[in-house]
């Protein structure tokens, strides 16, 4: 997106008696605004929780904002139940899901699913869809499919669902 700003200034009004001039200035400035509202990777969300918990770096979201997302997920997910009494405990649990190492493929699926959920509840997934193996998914339809596979213990397809969720989380160029 390119935004043009026009600044009209009559700021240079120096008295002619000083031997200088007085004139209006018309200045146009181009400002490029990056779109940060597209789906983000599992690593992005892992960093947001690490930063909010004071473990490493700085992030885009406060601990409170991340907690609001977890509570929204808690009310809708068949897999995740962030129902600990402490905001810190909920964030630490989310970080534990997102952060490697993973014991098995089920944990890898859950990590990508949580990132997909975070993209969905944050609004980052709004309007985005992927075509994966001939099927078109938006965030909510992919979340439902991945959760069904996990609930039903469909281990033979865990790699497929991990890859599908990861594809959604990483397929869009949205800047830093």
Same domain, 22 and 99: no
Same domain, 99 and 51: yes
Sequential pLDDT tens for the chain (176 residues) = 333 333 333 334 445 555 555 565 555 544 333 446 899 999 999 999 999 999 999 999 999 999 999 999 998 999 999 999 999 999 999 999 999 999 999 999 999 999 999 999 999 999 999 999 999 999 999 999 999 999 999 999 999 999 999 999 999 987 65
Same domain, 51 and 28: no
At 2 the pLDDT is 30
Same domain, 16 and 51: no
Distances (CA, A) of 156 to 60, 61, 78, 115, 129: 37, 36, 20, 22, 24
Could you tell me if residue 71 is inside a domain? yes
Could you tell me if residue 161 is inside a domain? yes
At 16 the pLDDT is 52
Same domain, 62 and 149: yes
Same domain, 166 and 79: yes
Number of CB atoms found within 10 A of residue 176's CB: 5
- For the chain, the domain total comes to 2
At 173 the pLDDT is 83
Same domain, 103 and 161: yes
Could you tell me if residue 176 is inside a domain? no
At 154 the pLDDT is 96
Could you tell me if residue 73 is inside a domain? yes
Alpha helices in 86-130 (DSSP H): 87-98, 105-122
Same domain, 112 and 52: yes
Distances (CA, A) of 6 to 11, 24, 39, 47: 15, 13, 33, 38
Buried b (16+ CB within 10 A) or exposed e, 116-145: bbbbbbbebbeebebebeeeebebeebbeb
At 12 the pLDDT is 42
Could you tell me if residue 141 is inside a domain? yes
Distances (CA, A) of 108 to 7, 79, 144: 52, 13, 17
Could you tell me if residue 54 is inside a domain? yes
Could you tell me if residue 175 is inside a domain? no
Distance CA 114, CA 89 (A): 16
Could you tell me the residue range of the domain that residue 141 belongs to? 42-170
Same domain, 21 and 64: no
Q: Which two three-digit tokens encode residue 135?
A: 């099927």
Distance CA 80, CA 45 (A): 16
């Amino acid at each position: 997106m390119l935004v043009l700003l026009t600044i009209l200034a009559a700021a240079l009004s120096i008295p002619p008696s000083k031997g200088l001039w007085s004139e209006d200035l018309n200045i146009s400035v181009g400002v490029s605004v990056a779109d940060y509202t597209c789906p983000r990777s599992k690593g992005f969300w892992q960093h947001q929780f690490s930063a909010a918990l004071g473990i490493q770096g700085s992030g885009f979201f406060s601990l409170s904002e991340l907690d609001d997302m977890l509570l929204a997920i808690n009310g809708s997910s068949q897999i995740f139940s962030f129902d600990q009494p402490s905001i810190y405990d909920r964030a630490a649990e989310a970080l534990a899901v997102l952060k490697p190492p993973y014991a098995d493929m089920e944990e890898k699926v859950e990590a990508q699913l949580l990132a997909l959920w975070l993209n969905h509840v944050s609004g980052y997934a709004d309007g985005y869809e992927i075509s994966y193996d001939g099927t078109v998914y938006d965030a909510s339809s992919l979340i439902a499919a991945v959760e069904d596979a996990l609930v039903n213990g469909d281990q033979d397809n865990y790699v497929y669902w991990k890859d599908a969720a990861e594809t959604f989380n990483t397929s869009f160029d949205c800047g830093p």
